[in-house]
Chain A
Amino acid sequence: MRFFGSFLVLLLILSSPLAAQSVIGASGLGMRLEPLDAVQRALGGVGVTTRTPTVLPGNPAASLDLLAPTITFTAQPQWGTYVVGSEKGDFFATRFPVLGFAYPLGTNSVITLTAGSQFDQNWSVVSRGTVDVHGESVGYTDRFLSDGAVTAIQAGWARRLSTVFAVGATVGVYRGGLKRNFFRVFDGETADSVAVENPIETTTVLGRWNHSGLLASLNLLWDPSPFLQLGATMEWGGTLKVNPVRGFQDLGRVVSVPLQFKVSTTVALSSTLALNAGANYSDWSGLGDASVEDAGAGRVVSYGAGVEWEARNFWAGGLPIRLGFRQSKLPFRFLGERVKENTVSLGFSIVMAQALGLPLAALDVAAEAGSRRSGTYDESLRRLTMTLRVGGN
């Protein structure tokens, strides 16, 4: 239970949204942010099959090989540069896409509790303008700030039905909030650098919403041979309710989140080399809300692949090196255009403690570089993902 206590402490620390950031998140429900850890990020994985036992949201089967209660925590700083027309700028943020706890029940079952990011709604836009006051031109700055995220908190259970076949299931709830604030801030001086006679108050328009809803998933894991693992996950997105907070007059929204299908395989090519590949499919149409549906990208397929090479030891265990790539289509259009994200990745793990050949404490790191593109809008992206796995009694 000490681990459960740790988990709760971390949950309090990480009560900020589990998400990422880009102005692309201004569309639809926000920027899709997959709840993947550093291993999956490095391998271009979709979070279904893994050679490294860990805790993944929506996939309790990934925790079946854990020997002891384990807590995982993922931090993800991102850096980016956007270009649109002649405009160019930078952004940076840190998100926490995965927080997980797994508790093995004997050697054949495990229960999990996870918090995983779903959509990121953190972004802002800024523009400048002028207005005539007393016949003098006074500048102002418009700033629109969106601060929010949709997070899924899920409880899962998985069981090994035989030596080669395992099933898992999760149920969970959507949680999170959204603040959308607009500010028009007037300058204290006219265009001629003369102080304005009296201060001009800022225009402030606020909106607040809460997210709620249910979701669930089913997982299948099949190890037909010691060298091959196949997995599939079906996620039922349920209905995501976006309700205005009491006191705010804005309208709410009810969105039908589509089914999501994930398949993945891990092949051990040799004792030191493994291949991982996976794909993810969902249909972002028929979402139940006209404005979100207008932004929906329809059928989107994301896929990725990577290799893991573990030839050397370091500290208390192996030192796997990972290389991967991923191509993702985001579920919502931006400025009317589909958004595509391409990344290449490099990663490694440092095992700090292990037992029976399985890590009890490890740090996984993945570095990605890539781009997002939507029509004339371009973003270059650098993303670092770090996962800490700690297990023990």
Chain B
Amino acid sequence: MRRYIFLTAMVCAAAGCTEEISTAPDLGFLQVNPRTAEVLIPFEDFLDEVLVFDGYGSTSEIGRGWVAADLDGLNARTLVGFDEYPTTPSSDQNRGALIFTGGRLVLHFDSLAGELDSRVKVEVYQVEEEWHPESVNWEFAVDTTGGQRAWSQPGGGVTTLVGAANFIPEASDSLSIPIDSAMVAFLKTEPGARPPALLVAAVGSGVSLQLVKMTLVLTSSTFLNPEPWEETVPAVTTSFMFDPAPPPSSGWLRVGGTPSWRSVLTMSLPREVTGTPETCGSVGCEVDLTDVHLNLAELVLTTRQTELAFQPQDTTGVDIRPVLSPELLPKSPLGEAVAFPKGVPREVFAGQAGTQVFLPLTPLLVQVLDSAAVTGTVPVTSIALFTNIEPHLIGFASFEGAGGAGAPALRLLYTVTNPVGLP
């Protein structure tokens, strides 16, 4: 039998058992008659409610600090918690108890992300009061659900100046502030006590800097080896606080920032839309969206200028997910991402405000319409707009809200067909 199968395979190979079926132009005999049309649904026809929430994440999560002085009336300070002083040399070549004879504070700034015109005076203070890195803000050192403790003075409480220096962005991206042995000793804490804690502030007007990294470098020696070397004390927590907080959004949408903003839109998709001449001909008709093939659904948002101090420093990645339990907002769990996060450039929240942004909703609305086709009722759907990394940037994105020319809209591209049927 084997030889027969072999012969069969030979014939098959000779015949070329592949297929390239006949392809011809559409000769007009197909019944499927596809017609694609676009429709723009205004805000009032699909949006029931827009809610804006803030407070997602903490300033301690992005690993950077922010210092600002009178930036459009805003001040920002960074709180840095350090590790304990080392007790033994980090190098095996040195032995014995460490002796600290001085040191310096090294601060690295991201001048590209800040708003700078010239040199900036940076001051570093020792913080007397304890704070909670995850919840600290301008008014409160601790601001948790379980307890709240205000600073003795807003903005960091009682402090002692450790050092100051001028940061010149054109010259370098870092700043070194020397401290003498007395200050080194002053900052040192006993083992088990609260490690050194510093506050970084800027002096001046219209200043804004991102603090990328801060270290405490100690000039060290031992009794056996008096030749000095440097031991580094790393920062273990970085939080920032600012004042005043952004004004509440009056109907417009916010996404991102630190702590982050989320905008939640509750949608009731209309089951029918007015058909176009392509779909209905000249007589007009209503198109049932549960009967069409949805090719594209986009939430059309118009950007607005974010408050100067909070304008995004980089592209904002906007993620959209369904809100699974709207009654639990602002803590409702969210569903799967509707689409890959959309990158929105920073410029459209500054000089190019008024730009339209199209956020994809197609997979979600296909599900909604499929469900409506089964149940007969279009389900109310809530979606949350937030940044894909939360928190990510200090600044946040702003979009126009209800009313006005830039109100959100829903753009649909759909195709009406007949069944493929039999010829």
Contact = CB atoms under 8 A, between A and B. Distances in A.
Interface of A: 2-3, 5-6, 9-10, 13, 21-23, 25-28, 71, 73, 75-77, 80, 82, 84, 87, 89, 91-94, 122-127, 131-134, 140, 142, 144-145, 147, 178, 180-182, 184, 186, 197-207, 209, 242, 249-251, 253, 291-292, 295, 335, 363, 377, 384, 386, 388, 390
Contacts of A10: 5, 8
B295 A6 contact: no
Nearest to B25: A87
A379 to B, nearest CB: 9
B328 interface: no
A203 B14 CA distance: 38
Given A125-B24, A386-B14, A390-B4, A26 B419 contact: no
A75 B413 contact: no
B296 A198 contact: yes
Nearest to A363: B11
Contact of B25 (A13, A127, A200): A127
Closest 4 pairs between A and B when the two form their complex, measured CB to CB: A127-B26, A91-B22, A75-B15, A207-B420
Given A133-B413, A182-B34, A204-B293, A91 B21 contact: yes
Interface of B: 1, 4-5, 7-8, 11-12, 14-27, 29-30, 32, 34, 36-38, 293-296, 298, 339, 358, 360, 362, 366, 411, 413, 415, 417, 419-423
Contacts, number: 184
Given A84-B27, A198-B358, A201-B362, A253 B11 contact: no
B421 A251 contact: yes
Contacts of A126: 23-26
Contacts of B14: 75, 386
B60 to A, nearest CB: 35
Given A182-B417, A201-B366, A384 B423 contact: no
Given A94-B16, A186-B295, A250-B422, A200 B23 contact: no
A144 B30 contact: yes
B11 to A, nearest CB: 5
Contact of A198 (B12, B32, B38, B362): B362
A93 B22 contact: yes
A89 B8 contact: no
Given A22-B22, A91-B20, A377-B27, A249 B419 contact: yes
Contacts of B29: 26-27, 335
Give the most central of B1, B14, B22, B421: most A CB within 10 Å: B22
Contact of A207 (B7, B360, B419): B419
Contact of B24 (A84, A140, A181): A84
Contacts of A377: 27
Nearest to B414: A203
Nearest to B416: A203
A93 B15 CA distance: 10
B25 A77 contact: no
B421 A133 contact: no
* Interface of B, helix, strand, loop or mixed by DSSP: mixed
A132 B293 CA distance: 17
Contacts of A75: 11-12, 14-15, 17
A386 B294 CA distance: 48
Given A84-B27, A180-B421, A198-B360, 7 more contacts: A91-B21, A94-B18, A122-B22, A126-B26, A127-B25, A201-B362, A388-B11
Contacts of A180: 420-422
Contact of A21 (B21, B295, B415): B21
A209 B339 contact: no
B38 A132 contact: yes
A124 B18 CA distance: 16
A80 B21 CA distance: 10
B252 to A, nearest CB: 22
B423 A124 contact: no
A76 B15 contact: yes
A73 B21 contact: no
A6 B417 contact: no
A125 B25 contact: yes
Contacts of A122: 19, 21-22
B15 A205 contact: no
B22 A251 contact: no
A73 B422 CA distance: 31
A205 B358 contact: no
A32 B415 CA distance: 34
A200 B24 contact: no
A21 B415 CA distance: 29
A377 B26 CA distance: 12
Contacts of A202: 295
A10 B198 CA distance: 83
A184 B36 contact: yes
Contacts of A3: 1
Nearest to B9: A13
Contacts of B296: 133, 198-201
B18 to A, nearest CB: 7
B295 A93 contact: no
Contacts of B423: 26-28, 291-292, 295
Nearest to B356: A134
B295 to A, nearest CB: 5
B417 A205 contact: yes
A253 B423 CA distance: 10
A68 to B, nearest CB: 13
A197 B4 CA distance: 57
A335 B24 CA distance: 14
19 contacts: A22-B22, A23-B24, A77-B15, A93-B19, A94-B15, A122-B21, A125-B25, A125-B27, A144-B30, A178-B422, A182-B32, A197-B358, A199-B296, A201-B295, A205-B32, A205-B34, A205-B419, A388-B7, A388-B11
